[in-house]
A = this chain, B = another copy of it.
């Protein structure tokens, strides 16, 4: 098979891949920057100009002095934050759908050497509830033999395609501050959340009380780069060493830094996120026209959680579409994810295909005599 033909076939199937925002490749701007960065003088382990320049670049982006540490993955970013915030040891309160709690193989415990525990806080729509947080923390503080509360972690946006309003963030921060907890934000999809909120990056984070941020990029156009951003710079003291021993001080760090630089340059991160959000909105609006389809919560960022009748599900799979499943099989819930490179025509094709199979499908109890 010739390379050209192979690329073309891949193209065909790529447009049916709504499995994850990680299946997309790198944004052209980022890839170009990476290629361009391959020449020129440099230094190992982040002593290069690109990495050093990130400090000012992110300071400008967030309108305040920050310390930025590029790392390879969101799990590393979250784990490092958990280790720092739990020291000498203690609990990190998270939403029950938080990635750091259920999707990182116990990364918080690992990165902290057994010092951190993640405690899920109930809430609706993938968010933790400020009042439930207050209740759980107060209970723990009253038990001298329990793990002491140290921090709260807010996933912005959530694993349920929702976004905390700034008022919601501030309510959580208020509960945290009153109990001397640090505030972490897991911003694996921060771009999508900021695009949704229409606020500034500063308003979404430190102005609302966030101390440390896991700043995501890989889901929105980078290849393999994330960062930890310290608004509370005193917390950064041990970071340099922790990152190195954890294997995230890359010897050729500039190849991560250049991704981050290109990611935030010219608002690329927000443009990409706005597009992904809009494509998810388009998916939702299209599916909403099919009576037998049941949404599972809002669609505020770049993916749709939806329960599909069996015929539609089977039909889409047969046509080569790819999604990830959520919850128990009996619920027939899937996650349809859009990315910065999802095309309108691919969404429209998905909707049209779903509608084709919807004829046979009626919600339970609806196929009346």
Please tell me if the beta carbons of A245 and B43 are within 8 angstroms of each other in the complex.
no
User: A107 in the interface, Cβ–Cβ < 8 Å?
Assistant: yes
Chain A, interface size category, equals 35 or more
B residues in contact with A242, CB < 8 Å? 88-89
User: A197 in the interface, Cβ–Cβ < 8 Å?
Assistant: no
B residues in contact with A103, CB < 8 Å? 143, 145-146
Contact string against B for A residues 245-256, beta-carbon threshold 8 Å, 1 for contact and 0 otherwise: 111111110011
User: A114 in the interface, Cβ–Cβ < 8 Å?
Assistant: yes
Please tell me if the beta carbons of B104 and A245 are within 8 angstroms of each other in the complex.
yes
Q: How far is the CA of A110 from the CA of B249 in the complex (A)?
A: 14
Please tell me if the beta carbons of B45 and A22 are within 8 angstroms of each other in the complex.
yes
Please tell me if the beta carbons of B13 and A39 are within 8 angstroms of each other in the complex.
no
- Given contacts A35-B35, A41-B13, A88-B242, whether A247 and B102 have CB atoms under 8 Å apart is no
Q: How distant is A81 from chain B, measured CB to nearest CB, in Å?
A: 11
Q: How far is the CA of A128 from the CA of B364 in the complex (A)?
A: 35
- Interchain CB contact (< 8 A) of A11 among B39, B73, B106, B147: B39
Please tell me if the beta carbons of B113 and A7 are within 8 angstroms of each other in the complex.
no
User: A123 in the interface, Cβ–Cβ < 8 Å?
Assistant: no
User: A26 in the interface, Cβ–Cβ < 8 Å?
Assistant: yes
Please tell me if the beta carbons of B245 and A247 are within 8 angstroms of each other in the complex.
no
B residues in contact with A246, CB < 8 Å? 75-76, 79, 107, 110, 246-247
B residues in contact with A147, CB < 8 Å? 105-106
Please tell me if the beta carbons of A109 and B115 are within 8 angstroms of each other in the complex.
yes
